[in-house]
Each structure stands twice: as structure tokens, then as C-alpha cells.
Amino acid sequence: RKEVEQDPGPFNVPEGATVAFNCTYSNSASQSFFWYRQDCRKEPKLLMSVYSSGNEDGRFTAQLNRASQYISLLIRDSKLSDSATYLCVVTRGTGRRALTFGSGTRLQVQP
């Protein structure tokens, strides 16, 4: 089983649509959770951290369910510029740790 699993997509949605991505992780010791965004042939960049209480940043809302080991990202009012691959990312646990990436979900927003 992969440490972080995501639906690869692609999700093809019209501008203005609301789209939701889901992710599950296997390591119950993971401490921190993130969504990164990667544009085609570019490096990953942090989109937002994910907190147990849920958090929102403009049109983006992230949720974490530790009991189910499940993370979600909701994008409202999709823009063309949202087209990218969204990577679900968790840390491995305590101590010095690196990021474990999901394989990403590709979003294509169409005019």
C-alpha cells in the first residue's frame, strides 16, 4: 500500500466549478499535512497546510480527519490558473523527517 494515496485524475472542470480532492495516508504517526501544487515542468510549491480544525485560504479549504487518516482539498469558483497537479503531502512522524508525497491529482480547468 502506498504511504499517501490520491486519485490521479485528471479532473476536467469548467471555470467556476467547485472541485474536491481526497487523499488517504497510511502512517498514523504523521504529524503535519499539506497540499502542494505543481505546475507542468515546474517545482512543487506549498499551497496550504492542513489542520485538524480545517482551514480556509480564499477559495481553498482543507480538511483533515486523523481518525480516518483522510485529507481533503476543496477549490471553489475554479479559475483557469488553478490548472495544475495537486500533491497531498504528509510528514513521516516524529524527529527529523522529510515529506512523503502522494502521486498527485491533475486538475484541468476549462473555459
Partner 1 sequence: DTAVSQTPKYLVTQMGNDKSIKCEQNLGHDTMYWYKQDSKKFLKIMFSYNNKELIINETVPNRFSPKSPDKAHLNLHINSLELGDSAVYFCASSQEPQPDYNEQFFGPGTRLTVL
Q: Which residues bind partner 1 (CB under 8 A)?
A: 31-32, 34, 42-46, 49, 85, 87, 91, 94, 96-101, 103-104
Question: Is the CB of 54 or the CB of 93 nearer to partner 1?
Answer: 93
Question: Is the CB of 17 or the CB of 24 nearer to partner 1?
Answer: 24
Shortest spacing between CB 48 and partner 1, in angstroms: 10
Shortest spacing between CB 111 and partner 1, in angstroms: 25
Task: Return the HEC string of the chain.
Answer: CCCEEECCCCEEEECCCCEEEEEEECCCCCCCEEEEEECCCCCEEEEEEECCCCEEECCEEEEEECCCCEEEEEECCCCHHHCEEEEEEEECCCCCCCEEECCCEEEEEEC
Question: Is the CB of 18 or the CB of 26 nearer to partner 1?
Answer: 26
